[in-house]
Amino acid sequence: MIARYQGKTMAKLFSLENRYQAFLDVELAVLKAYEAFKIVPEGTYETTRKKARLNLERLTEIEKTTKHDVVAFTRQISETLGEEKRFFHYKLTSTDVVDTAQALIIKAANDVIIAGLENFIQSLENKAKQYKMTPCIGRTHGIHAEVTSFGLKLAYHIDIFKRLEKKFLISKANLEVGKISGAVGNHAHVTAEIQDDVCAHLKIKSANISTQVIARDRHADYLSMVAQIGSALENLAVEIRHLSRSEVGEVEEGFSKGQKGSSAMPHKKNPIASENITGCARMLRGYMQMAFENITLWHERDISHSSVERVALSDAITLLDYMLRRFTKVIEQLVVHESQMIKNIHLTKGLVFSQKILHALIDKNVSRDEAYDIVQPLALKAKAEDSDFQTLLKANETIKAYLNRQEIEACFNYLDDLKHVDTLFKRVGIL
């Protein structure tokens, strides 16, 4: 991942040095289990733990000859050991180490993602509470529909992210899995009990069964969840982008002192962070597709998935971390123009209250079809002539036969549309 999108924590977690440190952690956990099962002499684990030293420069030099990173790793570590080196990587195959180490790294990264997601949800909740009863126009198909509240808009997204968090916890647990099962997964050299012991020590799950690798449906499911969270962020980002348009002007991203919106136009204040989130979400969906391609491997394993995962897993997780951190700031610093929201409610001169008139007629024993056919021509006339809808209604003889002036005016009270906001907030769990 390029430095622009990489936070310090993720940079460290997915560094080459940390990858090999995770390899070493797995190897040491195996030796500890071997001692418990009396497979290696007592003291082998402790001696190896104290003496083993990772030297990335030396490891890289060895790899130039071996053309195999795990072999280079085992040889470099062995150079720092004495007699006990004969038990280092004993009875293991490369992927016992690689897949289990990868689970350790992703587990640590997942803790960061969960914290970021919870922080983002909290920022949404804070903003939703602040604008809980702020009226704004709701739009369907991009066209003014009926009045809602800005807080309710945000509550809808909060519900999505809370649901995605629950699904992510399940998905991440299914990926935080290790295997110490050998070259074809049959435990010919290392028993399943030892695998269980190793994974328990490393605080990850132990695979029920594997080939030389952990089944890649786990990774596909995980990156699917990463992409879903990214797409949900994009969903909200697109909402902010639309509401930021000059013709709408209901919100805008925070604009810091000295910030520039355009190299050519000094007046510009663009929703660049939200646009960035859209682009990042596209990348996440691309990584998801790669993960699905990786599900299919030859027999007990081929290496076609390896190159994909070296890039896709670290990049996708790093990118999601970046998106959560950046978009949290967008929400926290979001400027909400409440007066513009009120102005936009009245932009169509009352047309958005047509359904209330429809229902008022139905309540007067007019059939739904007849009521619709009474209201629609008046609404379309008001739109075509850019005239006031309420004025047209009050002047129409058919409408006056059913509704008096007070009943018509009551239909244009937009605050009445917000009477269930409290109920919906409680259902979402916003207290």
Residue 310 vs residues 168, 199, 267, 287, 399: alpha-carbon distances, Å: 21, 22, 43, 11, 69
Report the alpha-carbon distance of residue 281 to residue 344 in Å, rounded: 30
> pLDDT tens for residues 91-136?
999 999 999 999 999 999 999 999 999 999 999 999 999 999 999 9
Residues of the domain holding 172: 102-179+214-343
Mean pLDDT (10-residue bins), the chain, 431 residues: 92 97 98 97 98 98 97 98 97 98 98 98 98 98 97 98 98 98 97 98 98 97 98 98 96 84 77 95 97 96 94 97 98 97 97 97 96 96 96 96 96 96 98 85
Q: Residue 417 and residue 269: Cα distance in Å, rounded?
A: 32
Final residue in a domain of this structure, among 343, 369, 401: 343
Catalytic residues: 141, 262
Provide the percentage of residues in the chain whose pLDDT is more than 90: 95
Whole-number percent of the chain with pLDDT over 70? 100
Same domain, 387 and 258: no
Q: Same domain, yes or no, for 259 and 317? A: yes
CATH number at residue 372: 1.10.40.30
Number of domains in the chain: 2
Note the pLDDT of residue 372: 96
Considering the domain architecture, whether residues 265 and 365 belong to the same structural domain is answered as: no
- Structural domain contains residue 289: yes
**Residue 406 resides in a domain:** yes
Give SS3 for 52: coil
Among 283, 316, 343, give the residue marking a domain's end.
Answer: 343
pLDDT at 268: 74
Domain membership flag for residue 124: yes
Whole-angstrom distance, CA of residue 244 vs CA of residue 304:
44
Instruction: Specify if 336 maps to a domain.
Output: yes
Both 159 and 240 in one domain: the answer is yes
Residue 382 in any domain: the answer is yes
- Whether 369 and 301 map to the same domain: the answer is no
Q: Can you give the CATH number for the domain in which 249 is found?
A: 1.20.200.10
Q: Are residues 260 and 296 in the same domain?
A: yes
Mark whether 316 and 378 lie in a shared domain: no
Same domain, 110 and 126: yes
Residues 295, 390 within the same domain? no
Quick one: pLDDT at residue 2?
87
Write the pLDDT tens digit of every residue in 298-353.
999 999 999 999 999 999 999 999 999 999 999 999 999 999 999 999 999 999 99
Residue 376 lies in a domain: yes
Residue 81, in any domain of the structure? no
Residue 93 belongs to a domain: no
pLDDT, tens digit, 9 for 90 and up, residues 220-244 = 999 999 999 999 999 999 999 999 9
113 with 246, same domain: the answer is yes
Question: Which residues neighbour 255 within 8 Å (Cβ) at sequence distance 6 or greater?
Answer: 261, 269
Q: What is the pTM of this model?
A: 0.95
